[in-house]
């Protein structure tokens, strides 16, 4: 298996976004059943991709995009954010996510703190971030402690809340 982790090219963006949306959609639907709601709207991905300091990466195995990640790097504080990390639906549980995370850390060695979040119901993600990547849960956003940056119409947490993670380097 040849694994590459490189910056996404403009010509890859359409498929990259579709694959990311499908991964998030299927993850949600595995727990809550089929829904007509779009769990990860394209405008959320676009907002992340156009944020100052944003870098989008793709994971390629045998010439096929199998995942990706969008990070936001703050050159001044080095308190950086993992906005999205996805493994293409149907290729999970093969170590691709961990390889991507290892590459992100290698590519951004000056980072002091990484931050990310995931929905409460995503047990696989919680296991991944805490047990595989070394993050710590530092906050639980829910109706009594809402994320001040979350849009009012956000449905991706299934109304069960979100965990915020940090990893101090």
Q: What is the pLDDT of residues 40-63, one digit of tens each?
A: 999 999 999 999 999 999 999 999
Q: What is the pTM of this model?
A: 0.90
For 68-80, the pLDDT digits (tens) are 999 999 999 999 9
Distances (CA, A) of 127 to 121, 130, 133: 11, 5, 9
Mean pLDDT throughout 19-35?
91
Confidence of residue 116 (pLDDT cuts 50, 70, 90): very high
Predicted pLDDT at 32: 86
DSSP, res 38: -
Query: How far is 75 from 59, CA to CA, in rounded Å?
Result: 24
For 89-100, the pLDDT digits (tens) are 988 878 899 999
- CATH code of the domain in which 160 resides: 3.40.630.30
How does DSSP assign 107-154, residue by residue?
H-TT-SEEEEEEETT-HHHHHIIIIIT--EEEEEEBTTB--TTS-TT-
Domain span including residue 138? 3-168
Q: How many domains does the chain have?
A: 1
CA atoms within 13 A on the CB side of 145: 8
Predicted pLDDT at 71: 98
Percentage of residues in the chain having pLDDT higher than 90: 66
Residue 155 has pLDDT above 70, yes or no: no
Predicted pLDDT at 150: 63
Residue 168 has pLDDT above 90, yes or no: yes
């Amino acid at each position: 298996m040849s694994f590459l982790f490189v910056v996404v090219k403009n010509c890859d963006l359409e498929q990259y976004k579709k694959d990311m949306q499908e991964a998030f959609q299927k993850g949600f639907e595995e727990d809550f059943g089929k829904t007509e709601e779009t769990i990860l709207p394209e405008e959320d991905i676009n907002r992340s991709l156009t944020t100052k300091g944003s870098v989008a990466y793709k994971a390629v195995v045998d010439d096929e995009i199998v995942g990706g990640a969008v990070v936001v790097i703050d050159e001044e504080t080095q308190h950086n954010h993992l906005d999205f990390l996805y493994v293409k639906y149907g290729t999970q549980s093969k170590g691709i996510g961990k390889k991507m995370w290892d590459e992100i850390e290698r590519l951004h060695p000056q980072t002091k703190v990484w931050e990310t979040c995931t929905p409460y119901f995503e047990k696989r993600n919680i296991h991944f971030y805490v047990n595989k990547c070394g993050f710590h849960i530092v906050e639980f956003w829910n109706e009594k402690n809402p994320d001040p940056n979350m849009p009012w119409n956000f449905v991706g947490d299934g109304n069960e809340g979100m965990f915020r993670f940090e990893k101090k380097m």
